[in-house]
């Protein structure tokens, strides 16, 4: 599913009218009908529609007329300078006046009657919001949020920036948001993801081709879209056909990371895993992963050239860095792999810390590099502050991937994947996954798909989505008590 910017949707709407002959008022009417459909499914009696003076308000005016025609008990409010109501919004506003429908604008009256409403429809501020929500609108939004009614936002929750997901001072927190044409990028980022509630995309008669012609380069995980990337397995295959993943990591004090990574790889369909670990942790790791083979080395001396050449010759994908600690040996080994390996290498944790000191090697690397930083690790790589990274996740991931010729999986509540040309925003997962080892499982899943022959970008999308979906499945059974191994154990259930 595409996730577009507000400018994308304006251009799509314009193209629908100029190239396909679908007038804008038809789109507004269809938008209203799509919201009506969801209201009818709720089987409630009283509805309040809160409108603004732009096109979002126009959707609300059109919806109000349809609700009246369906026999609903309805109250309508319009806040803002009504002289600014223009175009299709004005036509629908005027129809209500011609029907002798009273449209209120008294905030106190809104406060007095909202508690008696079953449903409140938010059609106040749409995708065009640019600055902070003004004081008067803030009070309206606060009143909506404080009500006990079921809240439906039209196209986007009022007060959410449609491009960034930022909360512009105040925003509506909807139970569900019905958006039109395609998802707006801000609906899956930052506060926008929370504010939308259940996000539903409705087709309002804009042809798929019209949307595709916009060439939107960002997608998101609506309705299990990433699973469409999965390939069917043939009957006559063997373990060698599904990737040989070498996991280089671990240290005396951090052996668990390798175990979790290996389980992530194996439980997501990898054919063979080999753990390349210090000899001091062989017994611990070996007792935790029965299906892996092992290569050991002296942690104090680091990996030697013969071992690395053997890995380069045999591996379909490499994981590098989990639990390795920070020392010069790690940097030297990573440099060697980047200069000599030509297949996917997933760099995580201490591998990213090492990479921050040798970034220039990336630009000439033979490998298909995938990095999986959390915001603090991205800060070390870029020099940007975590606060900036969190507010600009898409741009930060996209720019780094483009500059260094790699694929970036920037972890977080809305994980962002970019190969420098395309962007994917993941929406599976839950706060219960914020625990130690979860990222190690994710790295294993990612290496598994990369080793199976998926492109780095495809592998990253699949890993982000399936890892999050496994976390969601585990959450149903364990709640906030879930931990990384639970996620690994639920991976197979979510690969269909």
Residues 7-30: tens digit of each pLDDT: 999 999 999 999 999 999 999 999
pLDDT tens digits, one per residue of 179-193: 999 999 999 999 999
The mean pLDDT of the chain is 97
Q: Is the pLDDT of residue 496 over 90?
A: no
pLDDT tens digits, one per residue of 87-105: 999 999 999 999 999 999 9
Q: Which long-range contacts (CB under 8 A, 24 or more apart) does 21-30 make?
A: 22/205, 22/206, 24/87, 24/88, 25/88, 25/91, 26/205, 27/180, 27/204, 27/205, 27/206, 28/55, 28/58, 28/59, 28/62, 28/88, 28/89, 28/92, 29/62, 30/204, 30/205
Check residue 135 and give its pLDDT. Answer: 83
Check residue 148 and give its pLDDT. Answer: 96
Domain with CATH 3.40.50.10260 in the chain: 3-216
Mean pLDDT across the stretch 398-417? 97
Domain with CATH 3.40.1190.20 in the chain: 231-494
In this prediction, residue 425 has a pLDDT band, given cuts at 50, 70 and 90, of very high
Check residue 225 and give its pLDDT. Answer: 87
Q: Is 104 exposed, middle or buried (0-12, 13-18, 19+ CB in 10 A)?
A: middle
Check residue 423 and give its pLDDT. Answer: 98
pLDDT tens digits, one per residue of 437-479: 999 999 999 999 999 999 999 999 999 999 999 999 999 999 9
CB of 443 within 8 A of CB of 351? no
CA dist 380 → 334, 350, 377, 404, 410 (Å): 17, 11, 5, 15, 13
Check residue 183 and give its pLDDT. Answer: 98
Q: Is the pLDDT of residue 356 over 90?
A: yes
CB of 337 within 8 A of CB of 249? no
pLDDT tens digits, one per residue of 72-84: 999 999 999 999 9
The whole-angstrom separation of Cα 496 and Cα 369 is 27
Q: What's the CATH number of domain 231-494, 3.20.20.210, 3.30.930.10, 3.40.1190.20, 3.40.50.300?
A: 3.40.1190.20
Tokens representing 223 are 């309705």
In this prediction, residue 281 has a pLDDT band, given cuts at 50, 70 and 90, of very high
Mean pLDDT across the stretch 231-257? 94
Q: Is 106 exposed, middle or buried (0-12, 13-18, 19+ CB in 10 A)?
A: exposed
What is the percentage of the chain residues whose pLDDT exceeds 70?
100
CB of 127 within 8 A of CB of 157? no
The whole-angstrom separation of Cα 349 and Cα 319 is 10
The whole-angstrom separation of Cα 153 and Cα 57 is 11
Mean pLDDT across the stretch 411-426? 97
Q: Is the pLDDT of residue 380 over 90?
A: yes
SS3 state at 135? helix
Check residue 24 and give its pLDDT. Answer: 97
In this prediction, residue 264 has a pLDDT band, given cuts at 50, 70 and 90, of very high
Check residue 466 and give its pLDDT. Answer: 98
Pairing of strands 46-51, 73-78: parallel
pLDDT tens digits, one per residue of 291-350: 999 999 999 999 999 999 999 999 999 999 999 998 889 999 999 999 999 999 999 999
The fold of 3-216 is Rossmann fold (3.40.50)
pLDDT tens digits, one per residue of 120-163: 999 999 999 989 998 899 999 999 999 999 999 999 999 999 99
Higher per-residue pLDDT: 197 or 130: 197
Q: Is 363 exposed, middle or buried (0-12, 13-18, 19+ CB in 10 A)?
A: exposed
Q: Is 231 exposed, middle or buried (0-12, 13-18, 19+ CB in 10 A)?
A: exposed
Q: Is the pLDDT of residue 223 over 90?
A: no
């Amino acid at each position: 599913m595409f996730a577009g910017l507000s400018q994308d949707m304006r251009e799509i709407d314009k193209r629908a009218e100029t190239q396909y002959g679908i007038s804008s008022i038809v789109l507004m009417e269809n938008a209203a009908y799509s919201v009506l459909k969801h209201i009818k499914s709720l089987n409630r009696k009283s509805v309040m529609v809160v409108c603004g003076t732009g096109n979002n308000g126009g959707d609300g005016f059109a919806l109000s007329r349809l609700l009246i025609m369906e026999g609903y008990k309805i109250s309508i409010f319009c806040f803002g300078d009504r002289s600014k109501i223009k175009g299709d919004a004005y036509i629908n506003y005027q129809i209500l006046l011609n029907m002798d429908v009273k449209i209120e604008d008294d905030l106190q009256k809104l406060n007095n009657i909202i508690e008696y409403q079953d449903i409140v429809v938010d059609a106040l501020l749409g995708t065009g919001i640019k600055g902070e929500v003004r004081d008067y609108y803030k009070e309206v939004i606060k009143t909506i949020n404080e009500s006990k009614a079921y809240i439906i936002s039209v196209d986007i929750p009022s007060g959410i920036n449609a491009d960034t997901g930022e909360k512009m001072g105040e925003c509506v927190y909807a139970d569900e948001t019905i958006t039109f044409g395609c998802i707006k990028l801000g609906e899956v980022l930052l506060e926008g993801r929370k504010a939308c509630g259940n996000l539903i995309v409705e087709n309002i008669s804009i042809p798929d081709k019209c949307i595709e012609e916009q060439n939107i380069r960002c997608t998101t995980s609506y309705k299990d879209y990433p699973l469409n990337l999965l390939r069917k397995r043939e009957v006559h295959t063997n373990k060698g056909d599904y990737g040989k993943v070498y996991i280089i990591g671990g240290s005396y004090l951090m052996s668990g990371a390798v175990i979790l990574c290996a389980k992530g790889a194996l439980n997501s369909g990898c054919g063979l895993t080999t753990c390349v670990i210090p000899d001091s942790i062989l017994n611990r790791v070996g007792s935790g992963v029965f299906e892996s083979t092992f290569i050991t080395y002296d942690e104090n001396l680091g990996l030697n050239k013969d071992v690395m050449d053997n890995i380069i010759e045999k591996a379909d994908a490499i994981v590098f860095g989990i639990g390795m600690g920070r020392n010069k040996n790690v940097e030297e080994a990573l440099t060697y792999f980047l200069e000599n390996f030509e297949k996917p290498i997933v760099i995580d944790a201490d591998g990213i810390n090492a990479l921050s000191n040798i970034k220039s090697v990336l630009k000439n690397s033979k490998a298909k590099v995938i990095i999986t930083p959390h915001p603090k690790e991205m800060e070390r790589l870029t020099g940007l502050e975590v606060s900036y990274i969190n507010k600009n996740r898409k741009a930060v991931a996209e720019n780094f991937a483009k500059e260094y010729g790699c694929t970036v999986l920037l972890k977080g509540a809305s994980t962002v994947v970019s190969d420098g040309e395309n962007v994917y925003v993941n929406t599976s997962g839950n706060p219960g996954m914020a625990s130690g080892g979860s990222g190690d499982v994710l790295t294993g899943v990612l290496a598994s798909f990369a080793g199976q022959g998926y492109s780095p970008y495809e592998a990253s999308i699949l890993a982000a989505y399936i890892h999050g979906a496994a976390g969601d499945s585990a959450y149903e059974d364990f709640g906030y008590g879930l931990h990384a191994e639970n996620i690994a154990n639920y991976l197979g259930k979510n690969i269909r």
